[in-house]
Structures are given as structure tokens and as C-alpha cells.
Amino acid sequence: MSLYLLSLLLAAGSGIPGLFLRRRGAEVSASLMTASALAGIGAALGVLAGGPVERLRLPALALTSPSLLVLDAIAAWFLIPVLLLAACGAWYGVRYWEDAHGHPRWVRLVFGGLTAALVLLVAAAHTWVFLLAWEAMAIGAFLLVSTEDRLPETRRAAWIYLVSTHTGTLCLIGAFALLAGVAGTWDLGALPRGFAASRLGTQTFLLFMVGFGLKAGVMPLHIWLPPAHAAAPSHVSALMSGVLIKMGILGMVRLIAWVPDPPLWWGALFLGLGGVSGILGVAFALGQHDLKRLLAYHSIENIGIILLGLGLGLIGKSTGQPALAALGLAGALLHVLNHSLFKGLLFLAAGSVVHATGTRNLEQLGGLAKSMPWTSAAFLTGSWAICGLPPLNGFVSEWFIYLGAFGAMAGTRWPWSVGVLAALALIGALALACFAKAYGTVFLGTPRTPAAAAAHEAPRTMVLPMAVLAGACVLIGVWPHGGGPSPGPGHRRAGPGPPRQLPAGAPAAGVGAGPDPGAAGPGPDPLGAGRAPLRARPAGAAHLGLRLCRSAAPGAVLGVLLRGWPGHWRPLGPVPEGP
Amino acid sequence: MPQALVPTLLNLLFRAFVVLLLPPLIPGLITKIKAWMAGRSGPPVLQLYYDLAKLARKQAVFSRTTTWVFLAGPVGTVAALLVASLLIPLGHTAPLLAFEGDVILFAYLLGLGRFLTVLSALDTGSAFEGMGAAREVSFSALAEPALFFGFAALARATGSLSLTPMLQSHGMWTAGHLSGPLMLILAGWGIVFLAENSRIPVDDPNTHLELTMIHEVMVLDHSGRPLALILYGASLKLVVLGALLVDPLLPVLSKGWLNGLAFLGGIGLLAVVVGLVESTAARFRMNKVPQFLVAGVLASAFAFLLLLV
């Protein structure tokens, strides 16, 4: 807990020295953020590796509740992308957002504050802490979106965001008040059996879905998302798209963990929303000409994929299919991490393009792969991963959700998950089309405008954060069983699983084992999956599958076989002589 | 153990033969059938082997517009197809790799090949190639659900998520309640097969009018060894996707080598059928193609629905 609190303080204070320093303020702030990330990720890995679940108890403040903060497996899992993206974004911002753009000191201060709010939010165990952190996050993001408030479109985007997020907060206040009425305490934790099916439970659930759905950008509630992501500075867009909208997912995951017996229609609602967000998100993205708006619509699409996974998990929980619950939740949680990595990477790469050319319009770009080779490689890695193509990380999480959908359908109980399969297949194919277009238009071919022709590679402090994120995408893709921590205690209890599980096993087990397996209180196994023996098959199969992906080395072998090429691989004159 | 070693080695050799040596024969066979149907003698069946040998000796020409992505297209596509070929059973012989969920990897490896081909086409900066790329990705977005509905139906029928049990479930053809769905699946996949391999009636591999081409227009700028890779990759795709169609229809024979022969016969027969289709059908207008593909989606979806009752 002390490491976590240290991380929280460092993040919150990272922008303060820069207010008083004449020079190097940005570097100091980024270093503080890096230190915060190291401390926080260390704490998170400790919990995921099976360390004790720690709580912050301040009885004087907590108003009869046992604790204010809890660093359990879910909190740890969401903490990792928050801090990783914040540190990468802080270093990226050093050169990206200089004095020419205006208010760099205040941007750094609010960026640190926003990160601290996110760090606080993931571990909130008390209603008031949750709502205060939620509100701090919303206001921090509003200030950052409106950084360039001299542009009318930015002011408009910021106001739409502010109205949406407060509508969501209103619903959340109502939902939490209903919960507190039932539980008789401000503590967030397991709910009594039978509550979910009651009328009050339904009302609470719908309020939660509106509140969290507004933040996550679920399709009918997404209106604020594209303009806000396009208007914000790119490292802020990366943080917003990577982790801020995931806080809606965090809320939904917490809700799933609290409810012991979700009705079947909850899962069906998740699947419906997920399918709509996924397919329409990518369909709208196909029509965009603004690079950052295109990426923002893809965030909606990926939230849809995550909802599909959560929906399968819920249905598995409702119908008593532990394997389905584990696969769906594991896929969704792993996709949360993966999406934050590759979408952060894509937004940073898009920011480099904007930095170099001054435009976000796809039609005015082109041919940047020659002048910006590193940015181009980073964007290609992100595109590859977001399309779910093997062997990068997007494939691993989508593969889990596919397996869950296939499994549910092959069993006799719930054949309609074939709709999930069809939706995922369609989303995958359309995302491929969209990113082939985006990468091809921006980086390949010839420059369409003088600005694109005069582009230059981004400075090193902008390339390095992209390299870190791209490396993480590749690492999780080719080494998922080792890229993550070993399973937590909740999982070890799970029975005859293989000794080392995929990283997604850990937080899924966290959901399965409840908010805090060691805590006193009702603590029934909320998911029903934690104690049931997980099928060993999926994990073993995943292992095999990924070993197989690694054997995609045939590409390298072919390259060697065709060794005559590199010699000729320089731009030839107009007509080279044939043999 | 020594007894098991010989069949395993033979199986490996058989697979290596089918994946590495056999593919260029298939387009030659199709062309020959078409020539016979038209009353010509046509090019030799082994023509593609000669072409590949010639291209392998030639130097490649690279436009100054292109980057390394231009080369990643052909190399990556063939690499992805080779990995996919490890997963697919060839008739009733064992594949090299099989695990629960390999169908998804198989489908996404095909997607990876497409992604790289499209990028490689866009890398030339030519408007024609961009047009072909746009057609390729939009048509494949319709082919993908057809493929997955078929997988879903087979997964439901066989209770497995692995390609090998799905495709090798012998007796499905004769079991009354399964033969109908299987026919529908094969019809849907047949459409996917024609579209993905850019055959008539979706695309014409022999056309020279860029305005009407889909796949061929994307590879216009390749030459030399990259072009050889592309041609080999296209023929490998014929075999890999062809195995999807042929496997469920083959009977189980007593001896391993007989099963191998049966697969070769099945692939040969498929080539003949494709040749006959190409000789008798005309290429669709571009706006008809999506309807054709939707028919494939519907066929596989109905197969799944039939399995529910």
C-alpha cells in the first residue's frame, strides 16, 4: 500500500516543480511521473503475483466503512496501463507540447492531477472516494481537452464532454445512493443474493450502465468521444482513449464482481451494446478523414469488443458455465490492457504526424514512411495489433473472446453466441480495411501536399515512448504466458489449472474471487468461476497457439532464402537493367 | 516408437510435398481445363513452374516511391499462408499442429496475408492499386462472416473448436440430419473460396483491364522474385482453402497413403470443377459481387440454424 500511495503522491505532484523551474521543468515532471509509474506498477505486480491484498483504513474519515482504498487484483490490473501510459505520455509531451502551443506548465500540472485521479479511482473501495476521484478525473480531462481553447471547435468539444460526463455522474450518484440504501454502508462490496433480480436491482443496474456507458463511450452514448479525442493534445488523447474511457469498463467489472447472481438479460444487454458499438464504431471510423477522429471511433469499436467479452462472462456466470465466464472475462480484461497499449501507441504516432505536418486530415498526408520511418513503424505496429492480427497482442485477447463464444455455442445451453462470432468476424474484417486505409493514406505512396513532403522525424523523446508501447504490444503477443505475472491467490485456489496461466488469468480470477478474498464480510464467490475448476485446455491451447505464432519466423526464413534482395534494396534509377 | 516413426516421417514428407511442390500445379490444371472447354490446347499444365523458375532468375524492379512495406507484402503473405497450412488437415492425415481454437488463428492468418498484400499495394502510390485494395478489403469483409458461420456450424456439429476434428468428422455426409447443413456450409465456403482466390465469377485472374480487377491489380507493380512469391502464394491459397472444401467430403480409408492419395484426387477434382465454373460462367458486374458473397453468408448461417433444431 505504501508503494501505491507513493505512486499516487508522485503523480499528483509531478507538475508542481515545473511551475517554478525556469528550465527543464518538463523533464523533471516526466521523471517524477516515471518514478510514480515504477512504484505503482511494482505494487500492482506484487498484488497480481499473489501478494496480500492491502487496504487503506482511516476510520475517522471512512464513516463507518471499513476502508477507503483497496489494492486488489482488479485495481492492480487497471493500474498498470494507467501508469504506463501516463509515463509514456509525460515523456512524449516534453517536446510535443512546447511553449508555442501555450500553457505547457499548466498542461503538465493537470496531466499529473488527472493521472492521480485515475490512480485513486481504480483502487476506490468507498463510495465517496469513487465519486470524488471520478469527478476529479472528469474535470481534469475537461481542462486538458480545452487546452487549445482559442479554437471554437475545441471549446465546443470540451463543453459536450463536460455535459456528458456530468450526466453520467448524476446517474452514478443515484445508483450509488440506491446501493448504499441496500447495503446500509458506504463500503463498496458484494451485494446480497436476489438483489440483482429485484426491481430495485434493475433500476440500479440501468443507472450504472448509463453512467459507466457514458464514460466508456458505448454506442448510443458516445457523442462526446470523437470530438474530445480529436481536440485534446495527442498525449492526452492517448491517456483518455487508453485508460480514461476504460474507467467505465472498470466500473462495469466491479459491478459484475459485486453481484453474485446476475440475471441472464444483463449479459444479453452487454452483448447487444457491444455488438452495436463494435460494428457501428468501425463503420463510422471507415468514413473519417480526420486521423484522430478515426482513432477515436476505433476506441468505441474496441469498447464494443470488451463489452462482448464481459457479456459472455456474465452469461457464463448466470448460466453456471465457469469456463465461459473465465474466457469471456479474461478476454475482456486482457483486451482492456491491450487496447490501452496499442491505442496509446496509435495516438502518439498520430500526434507525431500532426507535429510534423500540422494537419490531421488524411487527404493532405501521404508518403510519410520515408521521412518518418520510426513513427511509421510505430503506427504499423499499432494497426497490426488493433486489427487483431497474429502474432501481436490484439489477437490474444480477441482469441479468448472467440473461444468463449465458440464454447458457449458448441454446448447446448446458449447457441445464440454465434451472433458474437459473426459480429467479431465482421468487426475484424472492417477494422483491417480501416487501418489498411489509414496507414496506407498517411504513410505510404507519395506526399499529397508540400506540408507532408516537408515532414521530419519526431524527436527522440517522442519516439522512445512509442517504442516502449510497441515493445509491450509485441511482448504480450508473442509471450503472453510470461509477459504477465503469475496467478494470484484467488486463482491458485481454482483447482487443477496449469501452474502458470496467461496474464489474463490473474484479474479474471480477481473478479472471480471477489473484491477481496481475505476480507471479512459476506464475500461469497461473486462470479462462481473462482472456485470451479477451470478447464486447463484453453490455457494449454493458448500456449501452443502462441508458440505457433512465434513460428511465424517463416517470414524471416524466406527473407534469408531470398537473400539477393537487400543488395538491390535501394531506390533504383528510372529503369534498371534486367538480367 | 520405431513403428510410429515411419508413418510420421511419411506424413511430413507428404505435407511438404503438398504445401511446397504441389500448389503451382493447380492453376495450371484449371487453365488446361478452361482451354479444353474452349477447344484450344492451352499452355502446358506445368506452365506456372516454368514461370516461377524464370522469375526467380530475374532481377526485381522497385519504384522509388516504395518502402520496405512493398516487400513485406509478398513475403508476409506467403509466411502467413505457410503457417496456416500447418494447421489444416490434408484429407484424413494428421496436421502438424492442432489445438482448441486453431480455427481462429487460421482465419486471422488469412487476414494477416490480406493486410500485408493491401499495404504493399498502397505502397506503390498508384491509384489503380488503391482501387484494387479497396475492393479486396470490402469484399473480404463479407467473406469473413461466411467463413465464421461455417466454422460455427461445424463446431456445433462436432463439439470441437479445432480444425482437425471439424473437417475430419467422417460420416457427417451420410448422417441424415447433418448432410443438409454440410451441403449449405460447403456452398457458402465455395463462394468464399472463389472470392478469396479471385476466381471467376468474382474476379478474373487473366484479365488485363485494370478497371475491373480486384486482386490482380494489387500486384501489378511487383516483378522478379517478389512476383514469384506472389504467384506461389496465390496457388498455395488455392490448396489451403481448397482443403476446407475437400476434407469433409473424403471417405476414411484404411491406409494412410490411401488417405493422402484421396486428398490429392479431391484437390484435383476441385481444380476441374473450378475450371468448369470458369468456362461456363461470366464475371459478375462489380455491384453484383456483394450479393453473391451475401448469398454465401446466408448459406452458412442457414446451416447453423438447421443445426439448432
Give the pLDDT confidence of B195-213 residue by residue, as tens digits.
Answer: 999 888 888 877 666 666 7
CB-based contact B105 A432, cutoff 8 Å: no
Query: Out of A11-25, A210-224, A503-517, which region has the weakest mean confidence (pLDDT)?
Result: A503-517
pLDDT digits (tens, 9 = 90+) for A183-219: 888 888 888 888 888 999 999 999 999 999 999 999 9
- To the nearest whole Å, the CA of B115 is away from the closest chain A CA by 7
| Closest chain A CA to residue B70 | A444
Torsion of CA A268, A273, A278, A281, to 10 degrees: 170
Greatest Cα-to-Cα distance within chain A, rounded to the nearest angstrom: 86
**CA distance linking residue A1 with residue A69, whole number of Å:** 9
CB-based contact A440 B62, cutoff 8 Å: no
Evaluate whether residue A557 is within a structural domain.
Answer: no
CB atoms < 10 A from the CB of B222, how many? 25
8 A C-beta contact, residue A162 and residue A135: no
Q: How confident is the model at residue B3 (pLDDT cuts 50, 70, 90)?
A: low
Q: How confident is the model at residue B175 (pLDDT cuts 50, 70, 90)?
A: low
Calculate ∠ Cα A402-A407-A410, nearest 5°.
125
| Closest chain A CA to residue B297 | A422
8 A C-beta contact, residue A549 and residue A391: yes
> What pLDDT, on a 0 to 100 scale, did the predictor assign at position A312?
92
Evaluate whether residue A290 is within a structural domain.
Answer: yes
Supply the DSSP symbol for B2. Answer: H
With beta carbons under 8 A apart, name residues in chain A contacting B156.
409-410, 415
> What pLDDT, on a 0 to 100 scale, did the predictor assign at position A471?
95
Which has more pLDDT, A152 or B168? A152
> What pLDDT, on a 0 to 100 scale, did the predictor assign at position A531?
31
Which has more pLDDT, A473 or A320? A473
Contacts of A326 (CB under 8 A, 6+ apart): A313, A316, A505, A508, A512, A529, A534, A538
- To the nearest whole Å, the CA of B33 is away from the closest chain A CA by 32
Which has more pLDDT, B144 or A520? B144
> What pLDDT, on a 0 to 100 scale, did the predictor assign at position B201?
86
Most A CBs within 10 Å: which of B71, B112, B114, as the mutation test of the A interface?
Answer: B112
Calculate ∠ Cα A373-A374-A376, nearest 5°.
65
Burial of A412 (0-12, 13-18, 19+ CB in 10 A): exposed
> What pLDDT, on a 0 to 100 scale, did the predictor assign at position A100?
63
With beta carbons under 8 A apart, name residues in chain A contacting B107.
425
pLDDT digits (tens, 9 = 90+) for B244-269: 999 988 888 888 788 889 999 999 99
> What pLDDT, on a 0 to 100 scale, did the predictor assign at position A482?
64
In the predicted model, is pLDDT for residue B283 greater than 90? no
> What pLDDT, on a 0 to 100 scale, did the predictor assign at position A579?
36
Question: Which residue matches cell numbers 438447421?
Answer: B306
Calculate ∠ Cα A107-A145-A355, nearest 5°.
70
Q: How confident is the model at residue A12 (pLDDT cuts 50, 70, 90)?
A: very high
Residue of B195, B184, B281 whose CA lies nearest to B238: B195
Sign of the alpha-carbon dihedral angle for A526, A529, A533, A534: negative
In the predicted model, is pLDDT for residue A554 greater than 70? no
Range of the domain at B97: 2-308
Q: How confident is the model at residue A60 (pLDDT cuts 50, 70, 90)?
A: confident
With beta carbons under 8 A apart, name residues in chain A contacting B78.
554, 558
Q: How confident is the model at residue B129 (pLDDT cuts 50, 70, 90)?
A: confident
CB atoms < 10 A from the CB of A2, how many? 10
**CA distance linking residue B23 with residue B233, whole number of Å:** 9
What's the mean per-residue pLDDT of chain A? 82
Identify the helix (H) or strand (E) that includes residue A55: strand A54-56
Identify the helix (H) or strand (E) that includes residue A327: helix A322-357
With beta carbons under 8 A apart, name residues in chain B contacting A425.
107, 144-145, 147-148
| pLDDT above 90: percentage of residues in chain B | 55
Most B CBs within 10 Å: which of A421, A457, A550, A570, as the mutation test of the B interface?
Answer: A421
Q: In this structure, which amino acid lies at residue A232?
A: A
Of A370, A390, A430, the CB nearest to B108: A390
Calculate ∠ Cα B158-B160-B166, nearest 5°.
60
Task: Say whether the peptide bond before residue A391 is cis (omega within 30 degrees of 0).
Answer: yes
> What pLDDT, on a 0 to 100 scale, did the predictor assign at position A506?
42
Range of the domain at A18: 2-491+500-552
Evaluate whether residue A579 is within a structural domain.
Answer: no
**CA distance linking residue A183 with residue A192, whole number of Å:** 8
Q: What is the rounded end-to-end Cα distance, in angstroms, of chain A?
A: 70
Cell numbers for A564, please give them.
Answer: 539477393
Identify the helix (H) or strand (E) that includes residue B49: helix B47-57
In the predicted model, is pLDDT for residue A541 greater than 80? no
Q: Is A35 helix (H, G, I), strand (E, B) or coil?
A: helix
Evaluate whether residue A461 is within a structural domain.
Answer: yes
pLDDT digits (tens, 9 = 90+) for A76-103: 999 999 999 999 999 999 988 876 667 8
Contacts of A332 (CB under 8 A, 6+ apart): A249, A253, A306, A307, A308, A309, A310, A313, A397, A401
CB-based contact B79 A552, cutoff 8 Å: yes
- To the nearest whole Å, the CA of B49 is away from the closest chain A CA by 17
Question: Which residue matches cell numbers 494489387?
Answer: B218
8 A C-beta contact, residue A116 and residue A29: no
Of A399, A415, A554, the CB nearest to B83: A554
Q: How confident is the model at residue A34 (pLDDT cuts 50, 70, 90)?
A: very high
How many Cα atoms within 13 Å fall on the side-chain side of residue A254?
27
How many Cα atoms within 13 Å fall on the side-chain side of residue A551?
16
Contacts of A379 (CB under 8 A, 6+ apart): A345, A346, A349, A350, A353, A439, A442, A443
Question: Which residue matches cell numbers 458499438?
Answer: A277
CB-based contact A558 B160, cutoff 8 Å: no
pLDDT digits (tens, 9 = 90+) for B25-48: 999 999 999 999 999 999 999 999
- Average of per-residue pLDDT across B170-188: 79
pLDDT digits (tens, 9 = 90+) for A214-243: 999 999 899 999 999 999 999 999 999 999
Residue of A171, A240, A249 whose CA lies nearest to A211: A171
Identify the helix (H) or strand (E) that includes residue B104: helix B102-122
In the predicted model, is pLDDT for residue B216 greater than 60? yes
CB atoms < 10 A from the CB of A90, how many? 30
pLDDT digits (tens, 9 = 90+) for A339-388: 999 999 999 999 999 999 989 999 999 899 999 999 999 999 999 999 99
Query: What's phi and psi for A575, nearest 5 deg?
Result: -135, 105
Residue of A399, A445, A572 whose CA lies nearest to B118: A445
Query: Out of B58-62, B219-223, B270-274, which region has the weakest mean confidence (pLDDT)?
Result: B219-223
- Average of per-residue pLDDT across A238-255: 95
Burial of B212 (0-12, 13-18, 19+ CB in 10 A): middle
User: Which residues, in sequence order, are bridge partners of residue A126?
Assistant: A187
- Average of per-residue pLDDT across A270-294: 94
β-strand A69-71 against A54-56: which pairing, if any?
A: antiparallel
- To the nearest whole Å, the CA of A399 is away from the closest chain B CA by 7
> What pLDDT, on a 0 to 100 scale, did the predictor assign at position B221?
87
Question: Which residue matches cell numbers 496507414?
Answer: A439
- To the nearest whole Å, the CA of A28 is away from the closest chain B CA by 38
Domain count, chain B: 1
8 A C-beta contact, residue A187 and residue A59: no
Burial of A407 (0-12, 13-18, 19+ CB in 10 A): buried
| pLDDT above 70: percentage of residues in chain A | 81
- To the nearest whole Å, the CA of A571 is away from the closest chain B CA by 5
> What pLDDT, on a 0 to 100 scale, did the predictor assign at position A564?
35
Query: Out of A57-66, A525-534, B131-140, which region has the weakest mean confidence (pLDDT)?
Result: A525-534
Of A428, A555, A578, the CB nearest to B59: A578
Spell A8-40 as b/e; 16+ CB within 10 A means b: bebbbbbbbebeeeeeebbebbbbbbbbbbbbb
CB-based contact A555 B75, cutoff 8 Å: yes
pLDDT digits (tens, 9 = 90+) for A391-422: 899 999 999 999 988 888 766 566 778 888 88
Domain count, chain A: 1
Of A406, A537, A579, the CB nearest to B59: A579
8 A C-beta contact, residue A261 and residue A99: no
CB atoms < 10 A from the CB of B10, how many? 14
Evaluate whether residue A180 is within a structural domain.
Answer: yes
Evaluate whether residue A213 is within a structural domain.
Answer: yes
In the predicted model, is pLDDT for residue A571 greater than 60? no
Burial of B3 (0-12, 13-18, 19+ CB in 10 A): exposed
- Average of per-residue pLDDT across A244-270: 93
Q: How confident is the model at residue A542 (pLDDT cuts 50, 70, 90)?
A: very low
Evaluate whether residue A40 is within a structural domain.
Answer: yes
Evaluate whether residue A572 is within a structural domain.
Answer: no
